[in-house]
Chain A
Amino acid sequence: MISLGIFGIDAVVFAIVALLTGAGLVWLAMWLAGLISPRSFNPQKGEAYECGIPTRGESMARFHVGYYLFAILFLMFDVETVFLFPWAVKMRALGGEGVLCVAVFFAILVLGLVYAWRKGALEWK
């Protein structure tokens, strides 16, 4: 009997089927669209859209580091939110112990946020 810790075989099978269906539907939609869609080509279609005017200069330009900081911070807190969802679903079953674990997890990340805030990473300079 395959089992994964506290999860039984049902849960594993469900998880695998859900994953495959999700990926499969996406692939199916894209394949069908590619099969039946009308398509044409002209030189302007492949170019970058800049409100109707051709672009100027190289695309490989230096970008401001502020974009990177915002992106990283967003990514981290987004992942944190993803981790919070499974706990929220099973909140009652996990009880007080669960709340404590999550609170510690949350506090560590809030410390990170406060650090970023104080260092001025949230301002644009």
Chain B
Amino acid sequence: MEMRHVTAQGIPYEAWKDNEYIEKLVTELQESGTNVLVGSLDKLINWGRSNSLWPLTFATSCCGIEFVSLGAARFDMARFGWEVARASPRQADFMMVAGTIVHRMVPVFRRLYDQLAEPKYVIACGSCAISGGPFRKSYHVAKGIEDIVPVDVFCPGCPPRPEAMIYSIMQLSRKIKVERFFGGKNRQESQKEFLAAHPIEDVAAANID
């Protein structure tokens, strides 16, 4: 099925046609009957969101240093709009998991993901985050983060060059551009509904003896 002429501000048409993943995503959406980029409002909001993705400063090991280089003057993530790296998950858009996640770090990592505000995305950066990397056989390393959090983009490398990281965040940006903001991703769940569906006792601080 030929892909309808998808346009998005700032990305040339060739980048859509050349991109197998985005093509598949768009054809899926079209087949299921939804109108891709339903209207100017969707387009407007997605343009705003995808051009200013704010990463959470989350770096555990070597890949984090390439992320720092990404922020520096040579590779400059500021020209894309991502230079505001927030330390607090409440203010960040996406989490670039750069580095190995080990057993002890898994609850911390999961907690940080839970505390990110919607809409949130995850990029698995580096082979350690994708599958455990060179440390896969270790007794203390989680074999990839896919079982812990849902991943949007995988960026292979050990460590991936800053240019590769730029490409992966651009891919996330393209993914956001074809999202339907109204309906679909835009679930609205209230605290009351959640508690009614999942009754939990008082979420107290961890037991300290």
Interface of A with B (CB < 8 Å)? 36-47, 49, 51-57
A12 to B187, CA, bound (A): 45
A57 to B194, CA, bound (A): 27
- Chain B residues whose CB sits within 8 angstroms of the CB of A46 once the complex forms: 191, 203
Q: A38 contacts B119, CB within 8 Å?
A: yes
In residues 69-88 of chain B, which contact A (Cβ within 8 Å)?
Answer: 88
A40 to B117, CA, bound (A): 8
> Distance in Å from the Cβ of B90 to the closest Cβ of chain A?
7
- Chain B residues whose CB sits within 8 angstroms of the CB of A53 once the complex forms: 108, 111
Q: B114 contacts A42, CB within 8 Å?
A: yes
- Chain B residues whose CB sits within 8 angstroms of the CB of A47 once the complex forms: 115, 203
Asked whether any CB of chain A lies closer than 8 Å to the CB of B189, the reply is: yes
- A-B CB contact pairs (8 Å), 28 listed: A36-B181, A36-B182, A36-B186, A37-B118, A37-B186, A37-B188, A38-B118, A38-B185, A38-B186, A39-B188, A39-B189, A41-B189, A43-B114, A43-B203, A44-B111, A44-B114, A45-B114, A46-B191, A46-B203, A49-B90, A52-B108, A53-B111, A54-B205, A55-B205, A56-B206, A56-B208, A57-B205, A57-B208
Identify whether the interface residues of A are mostly helix, strand, loop, or mixed: loop
A24 to B191, CA, bound (A): 27
**A-contact bits for B186-202, CB 8 A (1 contact / 0 none):** 11111101100000100
- Chain B residues whose CB sits within 8 angstroms of the CB of A57 once the complex forms: 205, 208
